Every structure is written in C-alpha cells, then in structure tokens.
Structure 1
Amino acid sequence: MPNHPTGPGLLVLMCGTAYSGKSTYAQALAARLDAVVVSLDEINERRGLWGGDGIPVEEWIRTHELAGAEVRALLAAGRTVIVDDTSSLRSLRDGWRSLVAGAGFVLVYLDVDHPTIRRRQAGNRVSAARRDVADAVLEQHLADFEPPGPDESPVRITSV
C-alpha cells in the first residue's frame, strides 16, 4: 500500500487490551505498509507518565490531543499512520474516525481473552520485557474495555 505525497493518507487504529500484542503487531504492520507508528505510550513517556501506573483522565485527554495533532499532520502529508493505543472506549474510536477527514480508516482489534492477558502480565514480570501494569490498573482496564461491535467493521485478530 503506497503512501501518496499529497492528499489524505490512511489511519490504522489499533484496539485491544494491555498485553494483547498491539505494539508488536503495529510495528510489523508498519514495516509492511511503510507506515509511521504513533504510540500513545511513547507520548505519555515523553510527558513523564506511564499508563500502567494509572493516569488521570485529564492527562489522557492531553495525550490524545498531542497524538491527534501528530496524526493529522502525517495524514495531510499522505502518510499511512498506525495509532498504537488500547482504543478501549467506543467514544475514543469514534474520535479517531472523525479526525481522518477524507483519509482511509481501518480498525484492527486484537481480541485476546483475559486469562491470556493475565498470563502475559505474569510472564512480563519475570522477563521485564516491558514496563509493568499494576494489578488494579489492569483489572479496571479489563472491566472498562469496550470491544468494538460489528457496526465498527473491525479487522479482528484472534491469535497473536
């Protein structure tokens, strides 16, 4: 899928719980599509925040504003952009859809069951391959996560 030097690009929005494999999948997809990955975790880290510790809503709003500005600029330049985030609420996914303004939009949902997520969290605590997500933060995240419905036309990935 080539990038166009002018005109709208393509936005690929990752969706899935913590430990579902979104970042790994986003990086692999970016290599195949010659895309730019905009990671909300990386934006938070630049801001001195870590979602695994819990972040106040107003800080998440600011992170989304910063990510939106990056994505708009890249799309305007005709780039393919992959947003690496949980996209845990329908309202957040709808916000990204409305941001594309003429660009293409694809929602990629990594649908991984909760027992697998918890096993990956435990394994990560042994390997320390990535920063930890506190138990209470993960449990709240899993409870609040709104999987995309059929009306959102997600590309559903079940084995990562």
Structure 2
Amino acid sequence: MLIATAGLPGAGKSSIAEGLGRQLGAPVVSVDPIEAAMWRAGVARSQPTGLAAYVVAEAVADGVLALGQTVIVDAVNAVEEARAQWRSLASRRGVPVVFIEVVCSDPAVHCRRLEGRSREIDGFYEPTWEVVERRQEEFAPWVDDRLVLDSVIDLSQNIATALGFLTAGS
C-alpha cells in the first residue's frame, strides 16, 4: 500500500508518518530531506527543487512498492498535481493509495511548533508562520477520500486512529 501524508508545514505530518512507519515496519520517504540534499549537492535554490524532490520521492517509493512493501510518503501534497502523482504511482503498481491529512486546529499551537522546531535537516530552512499562512491559501480542495487527523490530539491516539483506518480499508 502507498500511504501519502498531507498537510501544512509544522502540522505534525512527519510525526504521524514516522509513528506509522515504526508500527508498520514501513519506510518513510520524506520530501524535505531530499530537497535539502539537492541544495547541498549544489543545485541552486532558484531551481524547481521542490518539484524535483517530489519526483525523486516518487522514484524511491516506486522502488519500495516494487519489492512488495508498504511505503509512507511524507510531503505537504497541497496541490492536486501532487496528489495525482501518488494515485498514478499506486495505480501503476496495483496497490491502494491512502491519504492521511494532518491538521493542527489550534493556530497558536501550530505557530509555536514552527517557531520551536529544528528537525536537523542539514541545509533546510524551516518555514515561517507567514509562509505557512500563504501555503494554506494555496491548499487545493480535496477530491480524494482521506483520513483527517488533528495533531492537537495525542500522537499515540492519532497513530492508533490511523492504524485502525488503514486496517479497515484493506
């Protein structure tokens, strides 16, 4: 199965993806470290490295699916083109795709998380609250069925909810 997380930066996607990865024994392919690696390799930030990181993540996820394993993609997936990319990959591999959108219903908590987070991704600049607010305006409406998790709820409870959703859907 292909599990694709979605949500604004700092909403809690990576925590959900990592927790699910541990529980399922599934690799997590995260777009942000891929993009940061491109910058460290000398690709200019003025280049479309965000798009390129999604393409690289797709190639890595494709390789995992080819082995018959579940893979979790950790990415914002704000636009329909990104979501269509994961649907297409799942279709090509003949596996289900499950979207999990992670939101943070408390803007003050979300802002504090952004201000205090350091994921230690070499060369990656964490977005500001202003950037996140702009991204929220660009977030495309959903056409897919998805599980929505609110990260103000305890992480272990959200992981349990996601596992239940994944089990019910398979």
TM-score range normalised by the length of the shorter chain = 0.7 to 0.9
1:134 equivalent in alignment to 2:124: no
Residues 1:79 and 2:73 are matched in the alignment: no
1:147 Cα deviation (Å)?
4.7
- Alpha-carbon separation, structure 1, partners of 2:145 and 2:14: 21
CA distance in 2, matches of 1:58, 1:67: 14
CA displacement at 1:61 relative to structure 2: 1.9
In structure 2, distance between residues paired with 1:14 and 1:140? 20
Deviation at 1:135, TM superposition (A): 4.2
Q: Distance in 2 between matches of 1:98 and 1:111?
A: 24
TM-score by length of 1: 0.78
Over the residues paired in the alignment, what is the CA RMSD in angstroms? 2.0
Question: Pairwise mapping of residues 66-145 of structure 1 onto structure 2 (< 5 A)?
Answer: 66-100=56-90, 101=92, 102-113=94-105, 115=107, 116-122=109-115, 124=116, 128-130=117-119, 132-145=126-139
CA distance in 1 between counterparts of 2:33 and 2:118 reads: 16
> Contact 1:38 / 1:82 at 8 angstroms: preserved in 2?
yes
Sequence identity of aligned pairs in percent?
28
Q: 2:149 aligns with which of 135, 142, 157?
A: 157
1:37-93: CA deviation from partner (whole Å, max 9, x where unpaired): 0000111121127xxxxx657222211111111111110111110000011112211
Letter in 2 for 1:23: S
Alpha-carbon distance between aligned partners in 2 of 1:79 and 1:45, rounded to the nearest angstrom: 26
Gaps of 5+ in 2: 120-124, 156-170
Distance in 1 between residues matched to 2:47 and 2:82, nearest whole Å: 13
Segments of 5+ residues of structure 1 without an aligned counterpart are 1-9, 50-54
Does residue 17 (structure 1) correspond to residue 11 (structure 2)? The answer is: no
